[in-house]
Amino acid sequence: MTVTIDTRIGWRDVARVAAGETLALSPAAWARVDNASHIVERIVEMGVRAYGINTGVGALSDTVVDRHSLSRLSRNIILSHACGVGELLAAREVRAIIAAQIANFAHGHSGVRADIVRHLTTFLEHDCVPDIPSKGSAGYLTHNAHSALVLIGEGSAQVAGKRMNGREALSAIGLAPLVLGAKEGLSLVNGTACATGLASVALARASRLLDWADAVAALTLEASGCQVAAFDEAVLALRPSRGIAHVGASLRRRLDGSALVAAALGKRTQDALSLRSIPHAHGAARDVFDNASDVVDRELASVTDNPAVSGTPENPIVSSEAHAVAPALAQASDSLAIAIAQISAMSERRMDRLVNPLVSGLPPFLASDAGSNSGFMIAQYTAAALSNENRRLAAPASTDGGLTSGLQEDFLAHPTAAANKLLSVIDNAEYIVAIELMAAAQAHDFLASTAERAKGTDAIHHGVRQVVPHYGDDRPLAGDIEAVRTLIRNEAPPAVR
């Protein structure tokens, strides 16, 4: 499948490209790219001072660069800005960044030549993945620079899983290194493509995780003998929220017809909050998710270059602005990280209730032979450790300080750091929800002779048992956790029939 950019694309499109689809531009989009490139050519011919076109960058913005040195300026910007460190980003994340960058160029206000866009689309088509270190961008520069290195035959990349230098990578996919023109070096490192691409991947993963969180919670609720009246539609409507309504409806569908729930009716006056307030916490996360989705889509609809070029080659306009700064994107990523950290903390609390013999009514720690077997005792430790790490990661990046470029850049929004942190929170949350799912399935194994599950929860139980069997202290639990986490990360929860 191919995603085609006409006027704009959204985060779901970027996520599709990240997962392996290709990207193309419509004739109208190509025309916008060409027009912007001609505008830059005209600005160079006129000799009008314009930031990043014929001046230095950052604190060197008032230093004029002569016409014969403009290509060298572009190349040097790439080389000097490629100073990222740390582990490399995953291929999925790199592809998302490239897709977001192409989308920005397709607005027709960057001024890069069509050849640059064609090279980048070819990267996606042939799965050429530049090596991009995960750390170093206070805003957006270093990640993009490492991707741009490969365009000029520098740096390194993986093609068909094989790592090679930039020149070899280009040759492997039938391309030659590019010689950059005026502004192209700045455009390649500029903008918010990095944070927007990473946020798009995070949204795709968060969307699936939220669905699993609801499904797993239903399985735990049933095993716990929940008081389902708390989730009645009329009761939840007393607190208006699209997210609460969505989660409440999901839980009712999953638990419909449950003999276990029916047998527990009136057993308690009300359930513990980690059970009773699932619609509120999960629903709040969904409301935050919807807002973050809107922010990322607006980012993809925006021009995020500085400067932006507009007008016509005959009447060129160059505008120095701050569209490459993305406070809204940073705040949205921070907010979603907080929301997911909260629902994963609640997941750990529910898991603890399943293994804790003081409240579960089940074998201690869900062990088949408590004493000689420890069951899920230490799996709860792991979930607690990950939950605590998420609490630390939930501290906002968007309020971090930092002064760069000799006080010229004296405010930093940190959208890339926020997006990276969000991905880390999702990593941990997937494990936590996986551990709850394993515990809930184990609890249901012990309840099998008590009463029948609902069809909606039985599908979840059956799905996890297709991946891992009942646990009897007969193997390391780590392998089971990885297997169930892979299920949650890669597949949607079974539908309610």
The active-site residue out of 51, 140, 431, 471 is: 51
Beta strands 85-88 and 2-5 are unpaired
Beta strands 133-135 and 85-88 are antiparallel
Q: Is the dihedral of CA 270, 275, 278, 279 positive or negative?
A: negative
Where b means 16+ CB within 10 Å and e means fewer, 256-286 reads eebebbeebeeeeeebeebbbbbbbbbbbbb
Q: For 427-451, give the DSSP string.
A: HHHHHHHHHHHHHHHHHHHHHTTT-
Could you give the C-alpha distances from 496 to 250, 254, 459, 478, in angstroms and in order?
A: 9, 6, 8, 29
Quick one: angle between helices 141-151 and 70-81, nearest 10?
120
Q: Can 471 be counted among the known catalytic residues?
A: no
Q: Are the C-beta atoms of residues 184 and 113 closer than 8 Å to each other?
A: yes
Could you give the C-alpha distances from 19 to 127, 200, 202, 309, in angstroms and in order?
A: 11, 11, 12, 32
Could you give the C-alpha distances from 303 to 8, 264, 314, 414, in angstroms and in order?
A: 11, 56, 22, 18
Q: How many CB atoms lie within 10 A of CB 495?
A: 9
Instruction: Give, as one character, the DSSP assignment of residue 122.
Output: H
Torsion-angle region of 193 (φ positive above 0: left; ψ -120 to 50: alpha; else: beta):
alpha
CA distance 335 to 288: 7
CA angle 437, 442, 445 (to 5 degrees): 130
Query: What stretches of 4-69 show up as alpha helix (H) in DSSP?
Result: 11-18, 27-46
Q: How many CB atoms lie within 10 A of CB 20?
A: 12
Q: Are the C-beta atoms of residues 260 and 225 closer than 8 Å to each other?
A: yes
Burial class, 363, CB count within 10 angstroms (exposed 0-12 / middle 13-18 / buried 19+): middle
Known catalytic residues are 51
